[in-house]
């Protein structure tokens, strides 16, 4: 596999191997530092949208592994605007060793990967967020040992983060439940894929509208913003629709007593999650954010350190 564009492209075995590598690289880093296995390698990071975690964690992952990263802001490149994606890909492959791209349209990261002979990593698109899902699985694994048989409940918008979470859960045998408002459910195609993965792994998938039903017996409650980047013009209406889907202390109290609460961040405190939950006993928000570093090191090593 040249690229890392979607969880659905990888087998359960490949995903688990990357998670195992992330565990090893995290332990190595904690005990003094990583070996420079990506020495002289440079990752170009193309951003069409803002970022804190993706930008800083990829940059630091490259540095820890002896390589370097180059940040290209939304004001630069003009992917598909100033220049065609095919031309950008073929120019970049002569300068750098891999590209990480955060794009609006998922097709654009696919197009970049198609034309570039170097690895391309999807750093979030309107469709999915696979690097986030790897960090999420690592975080859940650290808490519960592995994902098999766990009940994971996503509360809110059937968005890019939900798609990748659903796919990693159903690849690795976790039960995935989502509760979204009517009209904001997950798209049909990724759900179909998830049911295929579940046939292999034994995961149970539930697509609901009631958040209270969704969190029953959940070991993980996950939420994300009600309005993703690129949907700003829908914000007003979404603010009216989503309040019943807030992850607050009452909702958390309806889950398994050992539940952890996750959020990919940035959080809109007082909207999809309350301060009390985000900073409370069950919160895994910051270990989860920190695990982006370790999960992405494994992705980078898997794509760049061959031979």
From the list ligand NVA, ligand CP, none, partner contacted by residue 225 (C-beta under 5 to 8 A by kind)? ligand NVA
Count of residues near ligand NVA by CB under 6 A: 9
The CB-of-147 to ligand NVA minimum distance in angstroms stands at 21
Start-end of H helices in 11-129:
12-30, 53-64, 85-92, 106-115
What is the CA 196 to chain-centroid distance, rounded? 20
Backbone angles phi, psi at 42, to 5 degrees: -125, 130
Binding string, 254-273, against ligand NVA, x = CB under 6 A? ----------x---------
Q: How far apart are CA 305 and CA 307, in angstroms?
A: 6
224 binds ligand NVA (CB under 6 A): yes
CB of 184 to ligand NVA, least distance (A): 12
* Helix, strand and coil percent figures for the chain, each rounded to 5: 45, 15, 40
Q: Which ranges in 130-234 belong to alpha helices (H)?
A: 130-144, 160-172, 188-201, 211-215
CB of 282 within 8 A of CB of 306?
A: no
Q: Minimal distance in Å, beta carbon 148 to ligand CP?
A: 25
Q: How far apart are CA 254 and CA 122, in angstroms?
A: 35
- Is 169 noted as a catalytic residue in this protein? no
Task: Please tell me whether residue 34 binds ligand NVA under the rule CB under 6 A.
Answer: no
Stretch near ligand NVA under the rule CB under 6 A, chosen from 78-86, 112-120, 158-166, 254-262: 158-166
The residue among 27 and 52 lying less far from ligand CP, judged by its C-beta, is 52
d(CA 176, CA 158): 13
Would you say 41 or 53 has its CB closer to ligand CP? 53
Asked about 238 being catalytic, the answer comes back as no
* Residue 300 in the binding site for ligand NVA (CB under 6 A): no
Q: How far is Cα 130 from Cα 137, in angstroms, rounded to an integer?
A: 11
C-alpha separations of 192 from 8, 12, 195, 211 in Å: 11, 17, 5, 22
**160 touches, from ligand CP, ligand NVA, none (C-beta below 5 to 8 Å by class):** ligand NVA
Interface with ligand CP by CB under 6 A: which residues?
A: 51-54, 124, 132, 264-266
**Under the criterion CB under 6 A, does residue 147 sit at the interface with ligand NVA?**
no
User: Catalytic residue positions?
Assistant: 102, 129, 132, 224, 264, 292
| Interface positions with ligand NVA (CB under 6 A) | 124, 159-161, 224-225, 228-229, 264
């Amino acid at each position: 596999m040249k690229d890392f564009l979607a969880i659905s492209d990888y087998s359960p075995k490949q995903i688990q191997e990357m998670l195992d590598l992330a565990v090893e690289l995290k332990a190595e880093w904690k005990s003094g530092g990583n070996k420079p296995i990506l020495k002289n390698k440079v990752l170009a990071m193309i951003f069409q949208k803002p970022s804190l975690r993706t930008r800083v964690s990829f940059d630091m992952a490259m540095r820890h592994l002896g390589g370097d990263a180059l940040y290209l802001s939304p004001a630069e490149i003009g992917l598909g605007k100033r220049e065609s994606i095919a031309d950008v890909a073929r120019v970049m492959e002569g300068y750098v060793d891999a590209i990480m791209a955060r794009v609006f349209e998922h097709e654009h990261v696919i197009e970049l990967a198609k034309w570039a002979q170097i690895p391309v990593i999807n750093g979030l698109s309107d469709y999915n967020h696979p690097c986030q899902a790897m960090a999420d699985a690592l975080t859940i694994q650290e808490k519960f040992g592995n994902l098999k048989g766990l009940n994971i409940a996503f509360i809110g918008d059937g968005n890019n983060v939900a798609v990748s979470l659903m796919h990693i859960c159903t690849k690795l045998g976790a039960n995935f439940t989502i509760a979204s408002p009517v009209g904001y459910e997950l798209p049909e195609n990724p759900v179909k894929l998830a049911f295929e993965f579940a046939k292999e792994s034994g995961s149970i998938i539930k697509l609901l509208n009631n958040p209270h039903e969704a969190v029953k017996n959940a070991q993980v409650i996950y939420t994300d913003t009600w309005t993703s980047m690129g949907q700003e013009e829908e914000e007003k209406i979404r603010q009216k629709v989503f309040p019943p889907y807030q992850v607050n202390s009452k909702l958390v109290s309806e889950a398994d007593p050992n539940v952890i609460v996750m959020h990919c961040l940035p959080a809109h405190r007082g909207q999809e999650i309350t301060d009390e939950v985000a900073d409370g006993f069950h919160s895994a928000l910051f270990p989860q954010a920190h695990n982006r570093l370790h999960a992405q090191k494994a992705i980078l090593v898997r794509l760049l350190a061959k031979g």
